[in-house]
Amino acid sequence: MAELRPPDTIPSNHFHTAAVGSGDDAFWAWRDAVSPLFDVALPSPDAVDTFAAEVRSYHPGPILFASVAASAQHFRRSPGTIARNGINHYLVQLYRQGGFHGDANGRSVAVGPGDVSVLDMALPLQTRAQTFENISLVIPRRMLAPLLASPDAVHGTVLRANSGAGALLRDHLTTLYTQAPDLRADEADALMQGTVALMGACIGPTADAREMAADDIRAATLVGIKGFIEGNLGAPSLNAERVCGRFGVSRPTLYRLFEPYGGFMRYIQERRLRRCFTELTSPHASGQRIADIAQRWGFGNEATFSRAFRRQFDVSPRELRHAAARSGGRPGHAPSHLGGASRWNTDSLIESWLMSLGDS
């Protein structure tokens, strides 16, 4: 189902087989969901009894970006599947748990935890996957191929967890996925371009990829700083001096990186406001005073917090809490009957995203 989140963030979707049942129902729902990419089968008939899968996906422009966790299964992309849907994108996957082994158009492939694999969806593939969790990006060929020295020869490439390129991509993709729920639509394009450039530099660079490396390093630094901010939002010591010391950048560089967000401190304030938004819509925090929630996330004055919150979300903290309580809402989700709720996008579905991938 599509998730309700603040309006300026990229579209997202959450799919879980538990929502459609178990056993056969769960597996067939999963099979239908991934059919534009793969034909799937279970390793044994009785595996259907315990089958489960979950996908949390984001759609920043032409790229599909997802966290996937699923039971053991076999994946197959045959010439018939390729001809049927016309998808010829690249699939880049970071395996956080589990892995797979198989054949990528005649090339033997084995992937384990921490490895990054590159698959060309224009070519046949057969794999046997263990129970796994990965971060997957489906990338249009037109974006990545120009950055590769041999764009038609990367099918089955594996960047090992203990390699420099593999570690760089692993850290970048992990941080990027952590930030994805709050990634704004107006920043997604540049960040995805930087991510693709980093992939080109790691997988098999052309001169163009190397020329883009400096810009990509800046993008990767920004992602790292955002991750640090996210982990320290409640700390009074979160300031420019601390961040500069942590990442070895000057104040002017830090301020330039955050210019598109209205400035460094403005970005921190917005992130703190979003944390408050999540807690105010959570039933678990219903007994906490608004002032205490605000103080926990760095706002020492409740009146100042309320004004900033209304500017950000077009609703006061108290109004949001009351509306969430009436609707039984979920943390971080705007109640559908709340004034201004049309600002939350609920239209994107995973099926339409997968179909849109046909534009390579």
Pairing of strands 157-159, 116-120: antiparallel
Domains of the chain (ranges, CATH numbers): 12-195 (2.60.120.10), 232-343 (1.10.10.60)
* Average pLDDT score over residue span 28-51: 89
328 pLDDT band, cuts 50/70/90, is: low
The tens digit of pLDDT for each residue in 161-180 reads 998 888 999 999 999 888 88
Q: pLDDT of 100-118, one tens digit each?
A: 999 998 889 999 999 999 9
- 259 three-class SS: helix
Pick 7 or 20 by higher pLDDT. Answer: 20
Q: Which pLDDT score is estimated for 37?
A: 84
Q: What is the pLDDT of residue 216?
A: 57
Does the CA dihedral 189-190-191-195 come out positive or negative?
A: positive
Give residue 217's pLDDT.
63
The pTM of the full predicted model, rounded to 2 decimals, is 0.62
Torsion on CA atoms 90, 91, 94, 98, rounded to nearest 10: -140
What's the pLDDT tens digit per position in 155-166? 999 999 998 888
* Mean pLDDT on 329-340: 43
The model's confidence at residue 148, banded by pLDDT at 50, 70 and 90, is confident
Question: What are the b/e assignments for 136-161, b being 16+ CB within 10 Å?
Answer: bbbbbbebbbebbeebeebbbbbbeb
